[in-house]
Amino acid sequence: MKRHTGQDKDKTSRWRLETQLVRGGTWRSELGETSEAMFMTSGYAYDCAEDAAARFAGDQEGYTYSRLRNPTAAMFEDRMALIEGAEVARSTATGMAAITHAMLSVVKAGDHVVSSRALFGSCRWVVETLLPRFGVESTLVDGTDNEAWKAAVRPNTTAFFLETPANPTLDVVDLQFVCDLAHENGALVVVDNVFATPVLQKPLQFGADIVAYSATKHIDGQGRVLGGCILTSEKILEEHVLPLIRNTGPNISPFNAWVMLKGLETLDMRVNKMCDNAEKVARALEDMNGFDWVRHPSLASFAQRDLALKQMSRGGTILAVQLPGGREQAFKFLNSLEIVDISNNIGDAKSLMTHPASTTHASVAEEARLELGITEGMLRLSVGLEHPDDLIEDLQQAADKAGVTG
């Protein structure tokens, strides 16, 4: 392998985001390929037995086995670390593998976790159901209520977990407050930053200790492959994350890591364009005057707008609405869409809409769902890259057919 400027951290850390997204972390082989090489290999051969021994001893640079590191996955990890401003990153097969391993790496039996209750369904299951099975207690709080975080801390609290903005309610957690509180109490903070993306929000700057992503969403951005990433400091990686993942093996496939590298090249462009579209669509939905509410952090009517825009450079690509006619009207609306797909994925180039109460949050008990504000009339829209006027026309005709307007 030839060294490439993409690997020179002193230089790449001074590059602007757009350059980092295209060139950060790149290694180039002797062949000089412009597109990153895909190393579909599980193992590595050594020139001699002494080299193998030296590499295992850590005295020689190089790869030993793809569960420990793979060159294509490493390029994805190095690029992710660079854009997030993290010291290090490790990639995983899915977003849930990233979040589960991040959480498991910072707790042991007897510990206690405080978490916001507005979470992606599987994240909530990890905190509420999986961790207690292994003797880790958890308390779920209203993440928007700083006093609730404070009140939940116990002497054995070792980790905080949160998602902001949260899926699908767009609840915003005060990152600076919660990170400061955790550190005063000797706890580490793990943030699921999927909704915000690394383009719009960098939780490490507010003190978060670990940031986890589902790369399946905006990072791939074209609905093709699953992947995830854990970003943190060298110290936390060595002490907490590596001992776990080197042995449990949640690795991403080199093929999927390569797809993610291609996705990152256009991440800034796509996320900003999707934010433009989301802002226009949110305003148009509000103007239709038939919804109970329209929620997007860019709207003047968004209750936590100031906090959201203090932490995020823009309002994001996802919005939520509530229809007055409950599930029946929400389904009628979805079934009338001609461009927007009925789909529970997010971050895709294609606009996707879902009814959280019957899909992503169907497994959350009804009472807990209502506590979160996930009502029967609520729909979530992940805004894509289509022309915003086509999206607005499609949503307008669906609103008309469902009897939301007029």
Ligand X SMILES: *Cc1c(COP(=O)(O)O)cnc(C)c1O
Name the residues that contact ligand X, by CB under 6 A.
94-96, 99, 120, 123, 163, 167, 192, 194-195, 214, 216-217, 226, 228, 346
Distance CA 158, CA 368 (A): 25
Distance CA 327, CA 320 (A): 15
Q: How far is the CB of 248 from ligand X (least distance, A)?
A: 16
Q: Where are the beta strands (DSSP E) in 203-351?
A: 210-214, 228-232, 293-295, 318-322, 341-342
Q: How far is the CB of 57 from ligand X (least distance, A)?
A: 35
Query: Which residue, 12 or 217, has its beta carbon nearer to ligand X?
Result: 217
Q: How far is the CB of 54 from ligand X (least distance, A)?
A: 37
Tokens 């080299």 belong to: 51
Distance CA 286, CA 305 (A): 16
- Nearest residue to ligand X on Cβ basis: 95
Query: Which residue, 96 or 391, has its beta carbon nearer to ligand X?
Result: 96
Q: What are phi and psi of 156, to 5 degrees?
A: -100, 20
Spatial CA neighbour of 302 closest among 315, 289, 313, 290: 315
Q: How far is the CB of 380 from ligand X (least distance, A)?
A: 10
Residue 371 tokens read as 């506590």
Distance CA 216, CA 263 (A): 10
Query: Which residue, 201 or 329, has its beta carbon nearer to ligand X?
Result: 201
Burial degree of 35 (CB within 10 A; 0-12, 13-18, 19+):
exposed
Query: Which residue, 153 or 231, has its beta carbon nearer to ligand X?
Result: 231
Q: How far is the CB of 5 from ligand X (least distance, A)?
A: 31
Q: How far is the CB of 2 from ligand X (least distance, A)?
A: 33
Query: Which residue, 226 or 308, has its beta carbon nearer to ligand X?
Result: 226
Query: Which residue, 85 or 121, has its beta carbon nearer to ligand X?
Result: 121
**DSSP at 217:** T
Q: How far is the CB of 343 from ligand X (least distance, A)?
A: 12
Q: Is 396 helix (H, G, I), strand (E, B) or coil?
A: helix
Query: Which residue, 228 or 254, has its beta carbon nearer to ligand X?
Result: 228
Query: Which residue, 228 or 377, has its beta carbon nearer to ligand X?
Result: 228
Distance CA 379, CA 330 (A): 7
**DSSP at 159:** E
Q: How far is the CB of 361 from ligand X (least distance, A)?
A: 12
- CA 356 remoteness from chain centre: 18
Q: Are 44 and 27 within 8 A, CB to CB? A: no
Burial degree of 175 (CB within 10 A; 0-12, 13-18, 19+):
buried
